[in-house]
């Protein structure tokens, strides 16, 4: 198995393990979210994201249930100078959504609901975008330890969903060679900051849907 396929497989396995404990919220780093920032200069060698192996996994959850799913990437580039990522961006195909849970209810009810205006509104906003604004070293200090084994970078980027852009910072494990780049992250965001507010009123009881969404990234790029 090559490195890129191993990256995607590792992500899927970790997500499956988190789904097993379906009454628990997904475990992820707390992403720092601020207003939109200036994109990084993206100097140096440009590498192309491998859209066949790169993956964005999301897990939404409510009372006693998790609902994990996946998006594929439409395109992307990562810029590298030496062994450092200097910038880059990738486009997420919202309409590529697949659900990990199988069965008619998930395909005919849950998935269309997530793609509707209550959540992603895919008919109007068929893509999402992440643009790197900064990459800095990550060093665990004992009080702030990433759930990502081997995390070595703090990645900041503008995440655009439903025409709403916020800057998100999260720890990641980034590996750079002369011909490839790989990155893995696992973090939580508040979906309300991207105008997804459906079902987060706690008065709904067992119909309550948490505002927290877990995001897991497995990105691979090569010359």
Q: Region of 15 please: left (phi>0), alpha (psi -120 to 50) or beta.
A: alpha
- Got the DSSP string for 147-185? SSTT--EEEEEEEEETTEEEEEEEEEEEEE-SSEEEEEE
Residue 161 C-beta-side C-alpha neighbours within 13 Å: 20
Q: Is the pLDDT of residue 137 over 60?
A: yes
Is 23 in a helix, a strand, or coil? coil
Task: Express each pLDDT in 21-60 by its tens digit.
Answer: 344 666 899 999 999 999 999 999 999 999 999 999 999 9
Residues 89, 100: Cα–Cα separation, whole Å = 26
Q: Domain ranges for the chain, please list them.
A: 3-222
Phi, psi of 114 (to 5 degrees): -65, -35
Look up the pTM and report it. Answer: 0.88
- Please state which CATH number belongs to domain 3-222: 2.40.128.110
Q: Is the pLDDT of residue 13 over 50?
A: no
Partnered with residue 172 across adjacent β-strands are 153, 185
Q: Please give the mean pLDDT across all residues of the chain.
A: 88
Task: Express each pLDDT in 63-122 by its tens digit.
Answer: 777 889 999 999 999 999 999 999 999 999 999 999 998 999 899 999 999 999 999 999
Query: What separation in angstroms does the CA of 152 have from each of 24, 71, 85, 170?
Result: 27, 25, 12, 11
Instruction: Let me know how long the chain is.
Output: 223
Residues 205, 194: Cα–Cα separation, whole Å = 23
């Amino acid at each position: 198995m090559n490195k890129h396929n191993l990256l995607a497989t590792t992500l899927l396995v970790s997500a499956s393990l988190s789904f097993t404990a379906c009454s628990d919220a997904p475990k992820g780093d707390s992403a720092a979210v601020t207003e939109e920032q200036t994109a990084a200069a993206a100097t140096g060698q440009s590498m192309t994201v491998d859209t066949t192996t790169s993956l964005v996994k999301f897990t939404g959850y409510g009372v006693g249930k998790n609902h994990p799913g996946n998006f594929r990437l439409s395109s992307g580039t990562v810029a590298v100078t030496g062994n450092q990522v200097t910038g880059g961006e990738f486009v997420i195909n919202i309409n590529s959504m697949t659900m990990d849970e199988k069965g008619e209810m998930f395909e005919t009810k849950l998935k269309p609901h997530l793609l509707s205006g209550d959540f992603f509104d895919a008919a109007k906003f068929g893509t999402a975008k992440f643009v790197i604004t900064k990459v800095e070293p990550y060093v665990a200090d004992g009080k702030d330890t990433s759930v990502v084994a081997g995390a070595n970078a703090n990645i900041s980027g503008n995440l655009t969903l439903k025409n709403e852009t916020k800057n998100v910072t999260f720890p990641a494990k980034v590996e750079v060679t002369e011909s490839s780049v790989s990155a893995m992250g696992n973090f939580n965001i508040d979906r309300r900051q991207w105008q997804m507010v459906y079902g987060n009123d706690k008065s709904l009881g067992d119909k309550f849907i948490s505002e927290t969404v877990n995001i897991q990234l497995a990105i691979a790029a090569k010359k």
